[in-house]
Chain A
Amino acid sequence: MNDGAAAVEPRDEMVDGSGGLRPHWRPLLGPLTGLGREALADRQRQLDAILAEEGKGSVLPGAEPLARRCDPIPFPIGAAEFAALEAGLVQRARVLSALLDNVYGQQRLLADGVLPPSIVYPNPAFLRPCSVAGPAGPGRRLHIYAAELIRGPDGGWRVLADRTADAAGTAYALQNRRALARVMPELFRLQPVRRLRPFFELWEDRLQRLAPSDAGTPGVALLTPGPADKLWFEHVLLARELACHLVEPADLTVRGGGLFLKTLRGLQPVHVLLRRQDGRTLDPLELEPGTLQGTPGLLDAMRAGRVQVVNDPGVGFAEAPALAAFLPAIARHLLGETLILPSVETLWMGDDAARRRVLPELARWRVRPALDGTMTPMVFARLSAANQARLRARITHRPEAFAVTALLPPSVAPCLGTQGFTPRPVVLRLFLLFDGRDWQAMPGGLARCLSDEEALAGRAPLHTLAKDVWVAAEEEAPRTGVAHLPVVPLLIRRPSGDLPSRVADDFFWLGRYLERLEGGARLLRLALSRLSGSDRAARDRVELESLLACLDRAELLERDAAHGLGADAAAATLLGVAAERGKLAGLLDDLSRLAERLRDRLTEEVYAQLSHGLQGLAALPVGGAAARPRNLEPLARATTNVLSFTAAMAGLAAENMVRGGGRLFLDLGRRIERGWAGAGALAQVLDQPGAAAQPARLEPGLRLALELCDSVITYRTRYVGVLQPAAVLDLVLADGGNPRSLAFQLVAARELLAALPEGQDPMLGMAAAELLAETQRLVADTEAALDQYAAAVLLPEPLRQIRSGIADLSDRIARQYFAVLPVAQSLGVEGEARRLRGMA
């Protein structure tokens, strides 16, 4: 480096200038060195495993694994030092709150000349509709705030960035603490560390108190964009910690000026919405018209005081990098105070004096858009000569669009590397919450370890190696805890109706797809057994033909699959089902998506089983239809694995999930799918060519029916070796004790439907009962017939009707419970979706 500022040595967090250990590291270093290098490396692996387990966004097809890691070495902060940081950040939070109230209010800061207009109006997160008058009060706009801090070579902390739109990372910090406590227990023995959990209790309490006083039981929800969001896992964790609903935009609706969650039982009020979604996409009626996933009327409900949205949609305004240059003046003007905790030196290029100073010495600065904090700053000295000239020209042309920050080297702290302790630059993220009277800091946070390149650019990704921040507990009595709301005895409830409709929908399809996966694997296994061995009997060919037709009917065959029955063509067809982009892979993708969407509703054990199983299955090498020589062995193994996975899931659901709620819909989905697919497959195998003229040709079909329903052994036990249509049909269709019979599915569906909250269509259970009666009648008729074979030959058509009756029942369930909403559209504005800059 040839520039002056960065030539200064960064401060070492652990060791002072003369090589001595800083006092607050002393209790840590003993246990750390005591463990030895080998043990530490092992602990690091354990930590990685825990976080990899928990941070699994990678279950989603196509998702990049997010490499969030926790360093085994914490980042200690002394009690006095933290108190000083807290005082500075509390003041900063008050200044930012006052700033937001001002720019969304009377804008005296502009009229008084403290803020130039080009710092305010072009800010992509300045949302004009947020200045329409509504309920006012301290903490209404800003409720949770995060600051990024670095410590300079002089030992002083400075704020690198203010985070107001989202303040992400609280749940990650808590998760790191828990993981560290599990893996490094000896560290905690010598050192009293302030706990993080009380901060979340305060937060939960605060959210409840934000509800309007006449609200009764407050409805609190955390709004997430959904599983595709990079921070989805943090949202899941946070909703769990704050004991609130985790909702997606499609779960919400505004009616009569109030916000509601769509549940099975109907609309349930939401009084407080903790948003983790870009503020501009919250209400397409007044904000970005192109983002129709928001909730029209939400701003109206906020103004009416019926719902509190925290943070307010407009607060991303305060993240503009150039504002740092104005904060001291804003603090003086609005609060009459001197800023305690400064920003890293920042200058706005729209200011003539700053421009005159900076332009000749740009190599000493990072350059960034004045109003967009999401863009990575450019380190001028690192640009090519041509890019330097270009950037200089852009600054000269539109100086007001740029800000510069000083190249201050962050302090370094020891991180565990392959060679033992390695000092790495650190950025601290601390969090503050408004408790109704003042701001409270979380006594901990995230200390992210950066690469030199990231440190130079002043960029700290959230998914990276982080240290748990330890705030030393003070000697005196702990702070007074939360003043609790008056405790009202809880009404005992065992509802299934509180489930959001979308969640019920997802559980239903999780059940259906799990069953579809199992059914597909069973068909594959049966077909494979007809292909193995060298001498293939004629009977095998007939049965294989039926099974391929079943696979086709179950929509598992590729459209252009080779339909020949030669061994080679059939093998290619089967391999195609399980190929990399084949139907089974598609099913696994769908299941992964559902598993991720339902993550907050599944116990950790169920989720882990599900996601592990799916990942394992997706990774199985099967070889495509084009592979030569045709090796069916991997496919056979994969089929076995699928079946043990689905069996494990069924067992886990039966033993580990509370009956009711999601479980009801999971079971319902399974029953519907098994009944629907089973009726279709039975119709198919009983539809043997030439059977009408020669009823004996039905026999392979009857045998297959028993195999499909996993009932061969039961049949043999009951009837020894005699094959007769009525006996077979009774076992696979009408026997309510056989868990694979059609009647079993319909009885179960009828009972599950009876357990659901009643809606506008009380006839659902009736429809299931009618299908059941029809099934029983078919068997009774066959039994009573003079020629059972002749009667059984006629069954495919009525079975297909039962199949479509089950499909119709499924549609009615969806309409009744899943609130299938019509498509939203904009009227009267130019509604093209556009890419949103910055963070709001």
Chain B
Amino acid sequence: MKYRVRHTTRYAYRRPVDLASHMLHLLPRPLPWQEVISDALAIEPAPGRRVDASDAFGNRTTWLFLDQPHLAFEVTSEAVVAVRCPDPPEDAATPPWEAIAASARQGGAEGAAAAEFTFPSRMAPASPTATAYAATSFPAGRPVLAGLRDLNQRIFREFTFRAGVTTLATPVSEVMHRREGVCQDFTHVMLSALRGLGLPARYTSGYIRTRPPPGRERRRGADQSHAWVGAWMGPAHGWVQLDPTNGVVVRDEHVVLAWGRDYGDISPLRGVILGGGAHSLQVSVDLDPL
């Protein structure tokens, strides 16, 4: 599938911002299964300095530094991307989950690359309730992918998608308790749950194709940033992407921006500003199939 992505972020400030530094994860990551055909960033006002490089996880990262007073800051990324995610293996072909955990724990040639994603992180900390919740999906000896699919489905069924009840600061333990939230919350819940069992799992940010209700037009700008889970199935099978918000294994309806230990590593637009007073934020996203 081929998509055009358009993602606009606009900050409006009550008072002038004298100096602003921003770190962006807004350009899609090129991957064996994701070809980035074109991409561009439009930035207003023009930054005094722009740096494009890879971050520690290999994601495309843009640093912007604005040194003129401004009352608004707007970034629009536009990209054309072709996605063709390989089919996941048969569940039964994947190793038992305990073998995956052991491999990640040992590190070495096979597990070292994935091991980093088995440890608690700031926004996906160790959570005994999340780990206990996950344990049901991983009885002894179960092939890892079977367990992953099961957990993915359970979060999809047992947690309610509800915007506005959680914020960036809502901890996993509270989401476990409320059983509601948005994609970021479910992703962090699943990360805490899998890592508690010693399984490598990473936070993936990007976009998902949405379909309008039957008979209606797609509303412009109504799509959103999305987040889901990458989980490791061992050196032979690599990573599989699971979307607990929609209860699906990712195929060709998701576009990857970046991955990291949690949201904090790859926030689409992070910044520190001097001044500004109160601010308002507007985000609009369109993902159009081509």
Contact = CB atoms under 8 A, between A and B. Distances in A.
A821 B69 CA distance: 13
A255 B106 contact: no
Interface stretch (A282-290, A620-628, A662-670): A282-290
A722 interface: no
Interface in B33-75: 48-49, 51, 53-57, 63, 65, 67
Contacts of A296: 21, 272
Interface in B112-158: 112-113, 115-116, 118-120, 122-123
B21 A257 contact: no
B119 A121 contact: yes
Contacts of A304: 51
Interface stretch (A104-112, A504-512, A750-758): A104-112
Contacts of A256: 48-49, 65, 67
A297 B109 CA distance: 35
A118 B109 contact: no
Contacts of B48: 255-256
A129 B56 contact: yes
Interface string B156-184: 00000000000011000000000000000
Nearest to B123: A830
Nearest to A827: B271
Contact of B273 (A117, A131, A827, A834): A827
A118 B119 contact: yes
Given A300-B63, A827-B272, A129 B55 contact: yes
A822 B275 contact: yes
Q: How large is the interface on A (under 10, 10 to 19, 20 to 34, 35 or more residues)?
A: 35 or more
Nearest to A117: B115
Nearest to B113: A111
A826 B169 CA distance: 13
B98 to A, nearest CB: 16
Contacts of A829: 168, 263-264, 267, 270
A823 B275 contact: yes
A111 B272 contact: no
A253 interface: yes
B271 A112 contact: no
B109 A128 contact: no
A386 interface: no
A117 B118 contact: yes
Given A289-B264, A828-B269, A132 B53 contact: yes
Nearest to A257: B49
Contacts of B109: 111-113
Contacts of B168: 829-830
B108 A113 contact: yes
B206 interface: no
B268 interface: yes
A304 B269 CA distance: 21
A115 interface: yes
B112 A107 contact: yes
A830 B169 contact: yes
A205 B283 CA distance: 52
Tell me if B's interface is mostly helix, strand, loop or mixed: mixed
A133 B52 CA distance: 12
Contact of A286 (B23, B118, B120, B261): B23
Given A286-B23, A824-B273, A116 B120 contact: no
From A110, A303, A304, A834, name the one whose CB has the most chain B CB atoms within 10 angstroms: A110
A286 B11 CA distance: 20
A811 interface: no
A476 B113 CA distance: 53
A116 B67 contact: no
A793 B23 CA distance: 64
A129 B15 CA distance: 31
B4 interface: no
A117 B169 contact: no
A130 to B, nearest CB: 8
A111 B112 contact: yes
B159 to A, nearest CB: 20
Interface in B234-271: 261, 263-265, 267-271
B117 to A, nearest CB: 9
Contacts of A116: 105-107
B107 A826 contact: no
Contact of B272 (A117, A121, A122, A825): A825
B28 interface: no
B182 to A, nearest CB: 14
Nearest to A110: B112
Interface residues of B, number: 51
B23 A285 contact: yes
Nearest to B15: A822
A254 interface: yes
Contacts of B218: none
Nearest to A299: B63
Contact of B108 (A111, A284, A826, A832): A111
Contacts of B279: 827
A540 B106 CA distance: 88
Contacts of A257: 49, 51, 65
Contacts of B19: 253
A600 B48 CA distance: 35
A292 interface: yes
A117 B65 contact: no
B269 A827 contact: yes
B275 A122 contact: no
A129 B53 CA distance: 12
Contacts of B63: 285, 297, 300
From B112, B113, B269, name the one whose CB has the most chain A CB atoms within 10 angstroms: B112
B112 A117 contact: yes
B116 A117 contact: yes
Contact of A117 (B11, B67, B111): B111
B233 interface: no
From A118, A292, A300, A828, name the one whose CB has the most chain B CB atoms within 10 angstroms: A828
A121 B115 contact: yes
A110 B264 contact: no
A824 B112 contact: no
B279 to A, nearest CB: 7
A257 B50 CA distance: 9
A821 B16 CA distance: 12
Nearest to A123: B119
B53 A826 contact: no
Contacts of B169: 830, 832
Contacts of B270: 285, 289, 826-829
Contacts of A827: 11, 22, 269-273, 279
A279 to B, nearest CB: 15
A284 B270 CA distance: 10
A110 B107 contact: yes
A256 B19 CA distance: 11
B104 A828 contact: no
Contacts of B272: 284-285, 292, 296, 824-827
B277 to A, nearest CB: 8
B56 A128 contact: yes
A121 B115 CA distance: 8
A257 B115 CA distance: 34
Contacts of B21: 254, 285, 296-297, 300
Contacts of A111: 107-109, 112-113
B96 interface: no
Given A285-B23, A822-B15, 10 more contacts: A111-B113, A112-B108, A117-B112, A121-B116, A128-B56, A256-B67, A822-B276, A827-B22, A827-B270, A829-B264
26 contacts: A113-B106, A113-B108, A116-B106, A116-B107, A117-B107, A117-B115, A117-B119, A122-B119, A132-B53, A132-B55, A285-B270, A285-B272, A292-B272, A296-B272, A300-B65, A822-B274, A823-B275, A824-B272, A826-B270, A827-B270, A827-B272, A828-B268, A828-B270, A829-B267, A830-B169, A832-B169
Interface of B: 11, 15, 18-19, 21-23, 48-49, 51, 53-57, 63, 65, 67, 104-109, 111-113, 115-116, 118-120, 122-123, 168-169, 261, 263-265, 267-276, 279
Closest A-B pairs by Cβ, 5 of them: A822-B275, A117-B115, A296-B21, A113-B108, A296-B272
